[in-house]
């Protein structure tokens, strides 16, 4: 095996890349020598809140999802504020996040706890070779702005400028406590949305992934903790769909809209909020495949199908159906009561345990059974051939 294929297979961490990340954490310990005053803690909290707004309003709701509009100057300032968090360039961030939504909690997801584990989803994915480069093709709406390309090429300048300002204005304690403490806290609270918000919390909507709503993550991240809401309707600027769901990022963006800084803030339709909108065909297909895979082991189903074909002479009707073609075989299998084939009622019970309420539950169950029947008929048809 050549070295490139081996690297791709093992997805090794690019070893120099985590060094600045580790050093930022170690720098926090320098507070032992600089001291910690309430003024510096206040500075750290201010910088945390301001830059978290840059992350959630800028990186996420604006550049990744375009859920509202801003003028070009405001767009640049928002990008600068977001990148002062030292979470790489806005084009890289938006490209990776869009990829995440296209493949959420599938093997292709860049940070899925389900497939790669909690800590890889939390931080490990950032330092892997496959995630190093920016996919410019996935952000054509952003690459048309040369000032954003310039910021992308100088991704850490905003953070360096902010750190230098903290040092000049408040000395070493301002740098260590004000900048590094808030930066490290910002890192992990942001990363919790990729990791913890796909593991712990409540599910209100069927989204085909593991996204959760978590109120205390919403507090820490200025509203990002309503993650299941967000995955259910990504075009909404407001992620706390209900009046009691704390979303200060939206409140700030609403205030800025009164000042004409932002406009056209996206809102979830009433039928989405009330969970009355049917799922789209692609989502039904994704969820049905998950349900089918959870209900049967397709490898075991294949083995049982082969044994059934070889040792059960009473399945003449099924044999005739297979002989007349695969489509007829699927119809015959669906009509038979086979012990290896779960009924729609059984699949319905399983689905109701696995998923939140949805008006598309009947379609999900019907499609899941259809997928199982198609697989079984394919095995029998192959056996005959």
* Residue 374 confidence (pLDDT): 77
**Between 12 and 163, the higher pLDDT residue:** 163
Give the least confident one: 12-26, 166-180, 193-207, 247-261: 12-26
Contact status, residue 221 vs residue 53, Cβ threshold 8 Å: no
10 has a pLDDT exceeding 50: no
Give the pLDDT band of residue 2 (cuts 50, 70, 90): very low
Kindly give, in sequence order, each residue whose CB lies less than 8 Å from that of residue 88, ignoring residues fewer than 6 positions away. Answer: 155
Contact status, residue 237 vs residue 61, Cβ threshold 8 Å: yes
* Residue 3 confidence (pLDDT): 39
Average pLDDT of the segment spanning 264-292: 94
Average pLDDT, whole number, for the chain? 88
**Between 96 and 297, the higher pLDDT residue:** 96
DSSP state of 213: B
**Between 267 and 322, the higher pLDDT residue:** 267
Average pLDDT of the segment spanning 89-118: 94
Dump pLDDT digits (tens) for 38-80: 999 999 999 999 999 999 999 999 999 999 999 999 999 999 9
The alpha carbon of residue 168 and the mean position of all alpha carbons in its chain are separated, in whole angstroms, by: 38
367 has a pLDDT exceeding 60: yes
Percent of residues, the chain, with pLDDT higher than 90: 74
* Beta bridge pairs of residue 262: 70
1 has a pLDDT exceeding 60: no
Tokens 């697989």 map to which residue? Answer: 375
Torsion of CA 195, 200, 202, 203, to 10 degrees: 50
Dump pLDDT digits (tens) for 234-274: 999 999 999 999 999 999 999 999 999 999 999 999 999 99
Percent of residues, the chain, with pLDDT higher than 70: 83
**Between 223 and 18, the higher pLDDT residue:** 223
**Between 127 and 333, the higher pLDDT residue:** 127
Tell me which residue of 283, 376, 362, 303 sits closest to 334, measured CA to CA: 376
The alpha carbon of residue 23 and the mean position of all alpha carbons in its chain are separated, in whole angstroms, by: 28
Give the pLDDT band of residue 109 (cuts 50, 70, 90): very high
The alpha carbon of residue 235 and the mean position of all alpha carbons in its chain are separated, in whole angstroms, by: 14
182 has a pLDDT exceeding 70: yes
Give the pLDDT band of residue 125 (cuts 50, 70, 90): very high
* Residue 25 confidence (pLDDT): 96
210 has a pLDDT exceeding 90: yes
- φ/ψ region of 260 (left if φ > 0, alpha if ψ in -120 to 50, else beta) reads left
The pTM of this model reads: 0.86
Q: CA 65, 71, 75, 81 torsion: positive or negative?
A: negative
318 has a pLDDT exceeding 50: yes
* Residue 136 confidence (pLDDT): 95
Kindly give, in sequence order, each residue whose CB lies less than 8 Å from that of residue 252, ignoring residues fewer than 6 positions away. Answer: 53, 57
Contact status, residue 50 vs residue 167, Cβ threshold 8 Å: no
* Residue 9 confidence (pLDDT): 42
**Between 331 and 136, the higher pLDDT residue:** 136
**Between 4 and 336, the higher pLDDT residue:** 336
């Amino acid at each position: 095996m050549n070295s490139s294929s081996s690297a791709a297979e093992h997805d090794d961490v690019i070893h120099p890349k985590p060094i600045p990340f580790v050093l930022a954490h170690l720098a926090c310990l320098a507070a032992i020598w600089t001291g910690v005053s309430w003024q510096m803690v206040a500075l750290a909290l201010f910088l945390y809140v301001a830059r978290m707004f840059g992350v959630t309003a800028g990186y996420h709701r604006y550049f990744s999802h375009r859920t509202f509009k801003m003028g070009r100057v405001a767009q640049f300032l928002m990008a600068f504020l977001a990148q002062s968090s030292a979470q790489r360039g806005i084009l890289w961030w938006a490209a990776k996040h869009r990829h995440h939504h296209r493949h959420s909690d599938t093997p292709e997801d860049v940070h899925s706890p389900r497939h790669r584990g909690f800590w890889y989803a939390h931080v490990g994915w950032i330092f892997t070779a496959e995630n190093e480069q920016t996919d410019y093709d996935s952000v054509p709406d952003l690459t048309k702005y040369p000032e954003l390309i310039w910021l992308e090429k100088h991704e850490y300048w905003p953070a360096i400028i902010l750190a230098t300002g903290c040092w000049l204005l408040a000395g070493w304690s301002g740098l260590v406590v004000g900048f590094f403490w808030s930066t490290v806290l910002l890192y992990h609270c942001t990363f919790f949305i990729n990791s913890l918000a796909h593991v712990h919390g409540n599910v209100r909507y069927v989204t085909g992934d593991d996204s959760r709503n978590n109120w205390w993550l919403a507090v820490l991240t200025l509203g990002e903790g309503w993650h299941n809401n967000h995955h259910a309707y990504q075009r909404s600027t407001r992620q706390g769909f209900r009046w009691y769901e704390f979303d200060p990022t939206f409140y700030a963006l609403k205030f800025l809209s009164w000042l004409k800084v932002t406009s056209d803030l996206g809102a979830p339709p009433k039928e989405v909020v009330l969970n009355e909108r049917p799922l789209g065909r692609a989502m039904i297909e994704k969820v049905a495949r998950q349900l089918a895979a959870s209900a049967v082991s397709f490898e075991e189903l294949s083995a049982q199908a082969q044994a059934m074909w070889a040792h059960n002479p009473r399945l003449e009707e099924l044999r005739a159906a297979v002989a007349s073609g695969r489509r007829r075989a699927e119809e015959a299998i669906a009509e038979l009561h086979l012990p290896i084939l779960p009924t729609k009622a059984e699949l319905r019970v399983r689905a109701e345990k696995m998923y939140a309420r949805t008006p598309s539950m009947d379609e999900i169950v019907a499609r899941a059974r259809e997928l199982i029947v198609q697989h079984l008929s394919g095995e029998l048809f192959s056996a005959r051939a």
